[in-house]
Structure 1
Amino acid sequence: MRAGAARSVRTATAVLGPDPVGAALPLLQPIALTHTTRRALKQHAKHTGNRAAEPSGGPAGVDVAAEAGSPTGGDGPVATTASPAPPEATTTEPAPEHHTPAPSGLLDEIRAEVLRTRPRVVGRPVRLERLRPRTLLVVVGGVVAGWLLIPQLFAAEDNPVSALADADPWWLLLALAAAAASHVAAAMGFVGFVPERLDFRNAVLAQVAGSFVKLVSPGGVGGIALNTRLLQRAGIPTAQALSSVGVGNLIGLVLHLLQLGAFVYLLDFVPGSSELDALPAVVGGLAGAAALLAVVSAIPAARRWLATRLRPLTAEVVPRLLDLLRSPSKLAVGVTGQLLVSICLITCLYCCVRAIGREPSFAAVAVVFLVGNAVGSAAPTPGGAGAVDGMLLTLLQQTTSMEPGGELAAVALFRLLTLILPVLPGWAALAWLQRRRAL
């Protein structure tokens, strides 16, 4: 920044040699620099742009004066002096645009200087990625989780390996059937919120393909993008496709909360039972979420931020929901499908628990799944890996009084059936839909 691009390249070539300088050219990117250096580049670019813009004021003033003198019938010399003004303005106006660069303007000058001296050097930048704190947190969390879980896998008593070896195959078949049925239910919950006619087979395959896509995308982003793409390929405009997916997600959230409240109410606790001891923790978590929402609503800045984020959703979802009200049958299919998705997954988890010889109440397992899946799915990991498992383990131990080995075996079976096994069929379904240009 002080010596300039040409002098810096000459010095680097003289000290390091031409080959190392050329080899470093693909790495000459802002992301490879420190925060202090990038900030200095910004200030340098801003200073250079302001300095380059100062001389452009003179010709512009002459041009204005010339144009002002022409209509008044000025004499010949004035007209002669004014005539070159347009070319000057034409040549000087683009200069500020050329010299008002992004933070990498100086880097481009250095790259151009290196290529000028060594034209055969490959100057195309390579792809660089900065390690994000979220990625580091996921890696550290995975290492810690593995360090805590490995001793339990080989414990002398109640280890999950022996529990899995003694699992009841009939309950496992029921769990597998429930996991498979959840994809059909998800397709019902998807097509039910689309007023247009859709191919139900493609909808089911899209939900199966989502099992593969969600492993490479955080949260539920992959499923949303997949469903939106399916609607676009079916000829539905993008705005309406996004609205339909938004309606389905919004109704699914409401139904999820209603089911959670219903199963908490249906829990037939007896005084002194271990399940009763876990109820305050569940209710406390829900109360904490409600309190957090109340605090956000009470702060004007937070309320405006939330309103800004929700305004596009309400602007698109509400009109689409009004369109759905004109066809109650499709709306009923969508609501039924959304309810069945949760019921199928709860049944799968319940059958996994029963397969290893434990007999908790269905309502207790439902509360465990609904709370654990909702909290764990907010994690930025693909498929909620780690977060969902940890929440299910904790809630199963607190709510159903299961031994550490039994709860780990049950969660491992559940995640195997709902997260791992559907990956290969999901990949095949995605390839089939893409081959038929349905995605």
Structure 2
Amino acid sequence: MSRALPQARPQAPPHPVPQRTRRPGYRRVPVRRILCLLPLAAVAVWVLQHRSLIGSGARQMLTADPWWLLVAVATTGFGWVAVSFARQGTVLERLPARRLFATQFAAGAANHLLPSGIGASAVNIRFMTGCGLTPARSSAALALYFLAEGVTRVGLLAVLFLAFPEALRLGPMLPDRSGALVLAVVVSGAAALVAGALLIRPVRRLARTFLCTALSDARSLHKRPSRALALWGGSLAFPLLQATGLVAVALALELEVRSAHVMLAYLAATAVAALVPSPGGIGSVDAALVIALVAAGAPVEAATSTVLAYRFITLWLPLLPGALVLGALVRAKIL
């Protein structure tokens, strides 16, 4: 006797997915469009706050030799190329060259929003993660870039100082007792915070992972001559081009200081200004450059005019185009 086959149970109709009903007049917030406009708004605020400095720098350029000013503009542009090579030298993967250059140009505008290069670092980490790198490897590449740039900048400063020991009268550049005390307290506090953070187990584990990744990537990079040349060549060329731009502006305004002394003054001033982080280096870099040029033998008025014109070319002139490129990169989802 055959068994009757069990009848299939009728399937319940699928539960209808509730559709979101929009309120009359409701529109979705264009978040990416707002992010694209943020750099332009920030630039507008910066320009309004520092319009006197911009006007002073522009007026100084009216009396300068235009050909030397063009040299300063060219060295500024080649500086972004040097940074692009140095950034490529920090990773094994080949980064898209045009996007990499555009990112370095846009990072200059982002650097005006946060102090001590945090804006440029955030842009570069976002770019590298968008190219497929993990956050740990992107951070390791950023640390390697800062290490290479710091080593080459200090090395150049040491070489020039040994070659021209009489170039700078360091008395005006050294802090007084109160300034030295404040600096010592700040450095000690920072060291205590870092040491306290390393006592926490998750932070210690994260730091160990980061160091292992950074050392592994650095060993792999230096086994490839093209990457090592890009890293150290770009890191060496960048401060040289920046210092050459200041020399060109000094020649345009007929500053009576030797070119090698101007380069030494630039490297010494940027090293001192790095201790006082500020957005775009506004205030700290300007004051340090004026003091360094005065220490190199320039009159105060001529040194101030040279610094204003130099900062107009390297800081204020690329600001609006950099903000436009930054907004375009955000809109294209590259950043």
By the TM > 0.5 criterion, same fold?
Answer: yes
* Structure 1 segment 40-439 matched on structure 2, within 5 A: 164-267=61-164, 269=166, 275=167, 278-279=169-170, 304-305=195-196, 311=207, 314-399=211-296, 401-439=297-335
Q: Is the Cα–Cα contact under 8 Å of residues 266 and 363 in structure 1 kept in the other structure?
A: no
Equivalent residue letter for 2:327: A
Aligned amino acid, residue 408 of structure 1:
T
User: 1:374 Cα deviation (Å)?
Assistant: 2.4
Distance 1:314 1:284 in 2: 35
Q: Distance in 2 between matches of 1:234 and 1:323?
A: 19
1:353 Cα deviation after fit: 0.9
What SS does the aligned partner of 1:319 have?
Answer: helix
1:237-257 Cα offsets, whole Å, 9 max, x none, are: 111111111111111111111
AA partner of residue 299 (structure 2): E
CA offset at residue 329 of structure 1? 1.4
1:425 CA drift (Å): 1.6
Q: How many angstroms apart in 2 are the aligned matches of 1:234 and 1:223?
A: 17
Kindly state the Cα deviation for residue 436 of structure 1 after the two structures are TM-superposed.
2.8
Map of 1:50 onto structure 2: none
Deviation at 1:415, TM superposition (A): 0.7
For structure 1, which segment, 249-258 or 309-318, has the greater mean C-alpha deviation from structure 2 after superposition?
A: 309-318
Q: How far off its partner does 1:437 sit?
A: 2.1
1:22-60 CA-partner distances (Å, limit 9, x unpaired) = xxxxxxxxxxxxxxxxxxxxxxxxxxxxxxxxxxxxxxx
Any stretches of 5+ residues in structure 2 without a counterpart?
1-48
Percent identity over the alignment is 26
Aligned pair in 2 of structure 1 residues 280, 434: CA closer, same or farther (>3 Å)? same
Compared CA separation, residues 280 and 393, structure 1 to 2 (3 A)? closer
Output the aligned Cα RMSD: 3.2
Tell me the distance in 1 between the aligned counterparts of 2:141 and 2:94: 13
2 CA distance for matches of 1:419 and 1:170?
Answer: 19
Shift of 1:193: 1.0
Q: Is the 8 A contact 1:163 1:406 kept in 2?
A: no
Name the counterpart of 2:17: none
- Looking at secondary structure, tell me which structure has more helix per residue: 1
Shift of 1:402: 1.5
- Of structures 1 and 2, the larger Rg is shown by 1
Classify the secondary structure of the residue corresponding to 1:216: coil
Q: Deviations over 1:362-402 (max 9, x none)?
A: 22112211121222233342111101101111111111x22
Instruction: For 1:428 and 1:303, locate their aligned partners in 2 and report how far apart those are by CA, in whole Å.
Output: 37
Q: Which runs of 5+ in 1 are unaligned?
A: 1-141, 154-159, 270-274
Residue 174 of structure 1, CA deviation: 0.7
**Structure-1-length-normalised TM-score:** 0.56
Closer, same or farther: CA 218–302 of 1 in aligned 2, 3 Å: closer
Summarize the Cα distance change of 1:283–1:266 in structure 2 as closer, same or farther, 3 Å threshold: farther
Paired residues, what number?
A: 272
For residues 306 and 331 of structure 1, the distance between their equivalents in structure 2, rounded to whole angstroms, comes to 33
Q: Secondary structure at the match of 1:349?
A: helix
Instruction: Summarize the Cα distance change of 1:203–1:228 in structure 2 as closer, same or farther, 3 Å threshold.
Output: same
Shift of residue 344, structure 1, vs aligned partner:
0.8
